[in-house]
Amino acid sequence: MNILITGGSRGIGAEAVRHFAALGHRVWFLYEKNHEAAQAVSAETGAAAICCDVADRDRVQACLGELPAMDVLINNAGIAHYGLISQIGKAHWDRMFAVNVHGMYHCIEAVLPGMLSKQSGCIINVSSMWGQVGASCEVCYSACKGAVIAMTKALAKELGPSGIRVNALAPGVVLTDMCKDLSEETMEYLREDTPLGIHGLPQDMAQAMEYLANARFLTGQVLPLNGGMVI
């Protein structure tokens, strides 16, 4: 399969690149600015790295317009911000939506013609458990991830008749650089609050993405990969 993964230079996205490349698929991935990390993932996996800010619609159109039709799009790129709503500021709020929500729209818009012409395809949007239940001090992030869930359900209804499936992944706490700003105390509190008593790993997410990529009768669903934290 041809697979496009956004945010593939590190964390969950990089693990997804490794996972699908190891299965023998042709993988392309987008990243924002860490050329060194992206080149390392590319050299390790053979996947093609493309420096492209998903918030920049023109750049997304230009980059993805040169690629062959995709079978799977994994909208994984995302940014987080931890703080009170009174402190986030308008510029930061706008950037969060530009990357986390508009970025997904831009990539979907760009790959859709190829999927429609084949009347098949699969889109996987990475949301978060906070998009399901909301998190204090992560109001904007929760709002973005809630939008991703609504977008996923609406798109599944719209694109199902064209043979295109759309599902979301709603991870709990996953050990990546995204969590590095959280204190050890907070991480421990979150672990204790998780029924399974463990944090997730990028490998857990990549495995679930493989399932979603192959689940021919599944669409419009939100897979809650959170150790039981949100049931």
| Active site residue ranges | 141
Minimum CB separation of residue 159 from ligand NAD in Å reads 21
Q: What are the distances in angstroms from CA 212 to CA 91, 136, 141, 161?
A: 34, 30, 24, 18
> Does 149 engage in binding with ligand NAD (CB under 6 A)?
no
Q: Which of 146, 171, 224, 227 binds ligand NAD (CB under 6 A)?
A: 171
Nearer to ligand NAD, 13 or 146 (CB): 13
Q: Which of 3, 7, 165, 194 binds ligand NAD (CB under 6 A)?
A: 7
Minimum CB separation of residue 63 from ligand NAD in Å reads 10
Minimum CB separation of residue 65 from ligand NAD in Å reads 17
Burial class (CB in 10 A: 0-12, 13-18, 19+), 30: buried
Phi, psi of 175, rounded to the nearest 5 degrees:
-75, 95
Q: Which of 17, 55, 104, 155 binds ligand NAD (CB under 6 A)?
A: 55
Q: What is the contact mask toward ligand NAD in residues 74 to 113, using x (rule: CB under 6 A)? A: --xxxxx------------------x---x----------
Six-digit token string for 8? 């593939």
Distance in angstroms (rounded) separating the CA atoms of residues 132 and 130: 5
Q: Output the CA angle 48-25-114, nearest 5 degrees.
A: 75
Please choose, from the candidates 222, 179, 214, the residue with its C-alpha nearest in 3D space to the C-alpha of residue 200. Answer: 179
Residues interacting with ligand NAD, by CB under 6 A? 6-13, 30-32, 34, 53-55, 76-80, 99, 103, 126, 128, 171, 173-174, 176-179
